[in-house]
Amino acid sequence: MKSIYKQPANRKEQLLFPPSIEEYVSSDNPVRVIDDFVELLDMQELGFTKANLKSTDGQPAYHPKLLLKIYIYGYLNKIRSSRKLELEIKRNIELMWLCAGLSPSYKTIANFRKENAKPLKRVFKEFIILCKNIDLISGDIVAVDGAFLRANASKNSLITKKSVVRDLEKIDAKIDEYLKSIEFIDSKEKKDKLLTPPKYSLNQMRIKREKISKDLDFLDNNNLTQYNKTDKDASLMKKPAHNLMAYNSQIVVDEKFKFIVATNISSKGNDTQLLHKMAKETKENLKIDKDTTLNIVADTGYYSAKELKKCKEDNINAIVPQANKQQVQKDKGKYSRDEFTYDKENDCYICPNNQKLKKRVKAAQIKDDKVNFIYTGASAICKACPLKDKCIPTKTPYKQIYRWEYEEIVEQHNKKMQTKEAKELIKQRGSIVEHIFGTIKRTLGWDHFLLRGKEKVEGENALIMFTYNFKRLLNLIGTTLFKKLIIAIKNGNLEEIKEEIRAYISSFMLYLLNITRFSFNIRVYYIR
């Protein structure tokens, strides 16, 4: 009886004209775009290792273009391990096509990523300039955000000053207890057989104490509060649910089509000192003139008076809300600082009882590299004030207020944050930047780093963000138009392709808008 199912080919049958590997990769396959894009790059100018070898340099090496293609393909398809990439090259038809018969070992693949941190950052910047040149990045409004990405290090390898001091106290107590027990046993005329010796010998405990002491000396000598022996640059960072060894990955996203325009990493678990750094890097990457204002939006975690001053000096308009620290005092029924009005003309503060807090001429506070002037009320007036209980503690003789020497910058910023434009931008911030890390961690699977050491991790971070941008451009204009773009770059015809890209995106956006309206009308119909 004839089978109703399709029959497979005979594996042992020889084909007269076997199909080429080219036929297995369709013309609109993204792997072709990867190949074409990397071929555009000047690897020597970007600084890649082994990009300019000569015939006298020994055994032929794999070209850095090949290894970069492998990594871009791997990161796009959630394959980041060098061992897994080596395996995929031998069985994945797309990688076979991309490598054209070459099969580098996992060690060669891994070394490329380790050795080319700075060139990978340059590739990220080159792609940003490409997107800007075809009007996909405006640079008018950008938003910054950060997320903790796990480091390639265990918490078991972490030593902290707090835990080391605690362990040192414990081991000293054990040694004292041991010596006392030995002294007690020796004082008896006959040793009681029921007395059991301590769990550890004195020598073992002294060796352990010496090790702990060395850890404490190391932290003190290097002015550190924590140190991870696996990755010295990773830090213990706190999340609501748990703590993890991580790096603080930072991104700045352009408002127009949500491309990442700047990225960096920090070993600190907060963002308070990163606003100016990320804004300045954005201006450099987008080649924005110093006299041109960059508008950058951030959440409360980036608020810092010193950072605002730096931004103002570099013509950066920072839209950052300040945490409401005064509310705690108000909840207690106390006067908050903002209820004391500064009199600029007389350089004093006016309290709620309409009394003056005068500036102390020969006294100032220096804290966190900030000079704060001190304003105080008269002790006799404060003691007799009917509002004293709402103003100062019982044992405090007078009210005291600190004013930063550049406080006017903060006051101007706070006024700006009350405007309608600033409030609208704060609302937009979430839709501009917050979904990026969600996509990176959940959809693309890049929730941790594989390399160790800040410099190498910076390179991997740049590769992650470049790949995100690459995928976004693919999704935005499609494979066919992307290939046309590459041809236009080769021929120097960017202006022509810009018009085609603009028309394509406009029609695509109109299509999405119509789909959204149709879905909304369907929902309304069923609700009725």
How far, in Å, CA of 142 to CA of 284, rounded? 14
What pLDDT sits at residue 443? Answer: 86
Average pLDDT over residues 356-384: 90
pTM: 0.87
Mean pLDDT, the chain, whole residue set? 88
Q: Has residue 159 been placed in a domain?
A: yes
How far, in Å, CA of 376 to CA of 401, rounded? 6
Q: Same structural domain for residues 30 and 107?
A: yes
Q: Same structural domain for residues 94 and 29?
A: yes
Q: Same structural domain for residues 108 and 167?
A: no
Average pLDDT over residues 70-89: 95
pLDDT digits over 274-314, tens only?
999 999 999 999 999 988 999 999 999 999 999 999 999 99
Contact 216, 232 (CB under 8 A): no
Residue 194 pLDDT exceeds 50: no
What pLDDT sits at residue 519? Answer: 56
Q: Has residue 389 been placed in a domain?
A: yes
Residue 524 pLDDT exceeds 60: no
Give me the DSSP letters along 447-482. -B--S-SHHHHHHHHHHHHHHHHHHHHHHHHHHHHH
Q: How many domains does the chain have?
A: 3
Encoded tokens for 24: 């297995």
Q: Same structural domain for residues 109 and 160?
A: no
Strands annotated E in 138-254? 141-150, 158-160, 226-228, 235-238, 243-254
Residue 347 pLDDT exceeds 80: yes
Q: Taking Cα atoms as reference points, which of 116, 155, 137, 28 lies closest to residue 481?
A: 28
Encoded tokens for 391: 């103003």
Average pLDDT over residues 176-184: 76
pLDDT digits over 54-67, tens only?
766 666 789 999 99
What pLDDT sits at residue 19? Answer: 73
Q: Has residue 235 been placed in a domain?
A: no
Q: Has residue 150 been placed in a domain?
A: no
What pLDDT sits at residue 111? Answer: 95
Q: Has residue 507 been placed in a domain?
A: no
What pLDDT sits at residue 525? Answer: 46
Q: Has residue 495 been placed in a domain?
A: no
Encoded tokens for 146: 């950060």
The sign one gets for the Cα dihedral 297, 301, 304, 310 is: negative
What pLDDT sits at residue 190? Answer: 47
Please indicate whether residue 43 or residue 18 has the higher confidence score (pLDDT).
Answer: 43
**Range in 34-38, 159-163, 196-200, 494-498 with the lowest mean pLDDT:** 196-200
Taking CA atoms, 281 is separated from 278, 338, 466, in Å, by 5, 34, 15
Q: Has residue 433 been placed in a domain?
A: no
Q: Has residue 519 been placed in a domain?
A: no
For 237, residues 6+ apart whose C-beta sits below 8 A from its C-beta are: 148, 243, 244, 245, 246, 248, 269
Q: Taking Cα atoms as reference points, which of 129, 124, 122, 130 lies closest to residue 48?
A: 122
Please indicate whether residue 442 or residue 35 has the higher confidence score (pLDDT).
Answer: 35
Q: Same structural domain for residues 87 and 159?
A: no
pLDDT digits over 86-121, tens only?
999 999 999 999 999 899 999 999 999 999 999 999
How far, in Å, CA of 432 to CA of 426, rounded? 10
What residues make up the domain containing 220?
155-228
N-to-C CA span, the chain = 57
pLDDT digits over 451-479, tens only?
999 999 999 999 999 999 999 999 999 99
Encoded tokens for 525: 């119909």
Contact 404, 305 (CB under 8 A): yes
Contact 260, 253 (CB under 8 A): yes
Select from 408, 432, 456 the last residue of a domain: 408
Q: Same structural domain for residues 159 and 92?
A: no
Taking CA atoms, 309 is separated from 287, 317, 404, in Å, by 22, 10, 12
Q: Taking Cα atoms as reference points, which of 99, 124, 114, 111 lies closest to residue 46?
A: 124
What pLDDT sits at residue 329? Answer: 81
Encoded tokens for 228: 């991870």
Q: Same structural domain for residues 110 and 161?
A: no
Select from 408, 427, 456 the last residue of a domain: 408
How far, in Å, CA of 502 to CA of 476, rounded? 11
How far, in Å, CA of 195 to CA of 57, rounded? 73
Q: Same structural domain for residues 100 and 159?
A: no
Average pLDDT over residues 431-449: 91
Encoded tokens for 180: 């006392």
pLDDT digits over 231-269, tens only?
999 999 988 777 899 999 999 999 999 999 999 999 999
Select from 384, 408, 432 the last residue of a domain: 408
In total, the chain counts a number of residues equal to: 528
How far, in Å, CA of 364 to CA of 373, rounded? 5
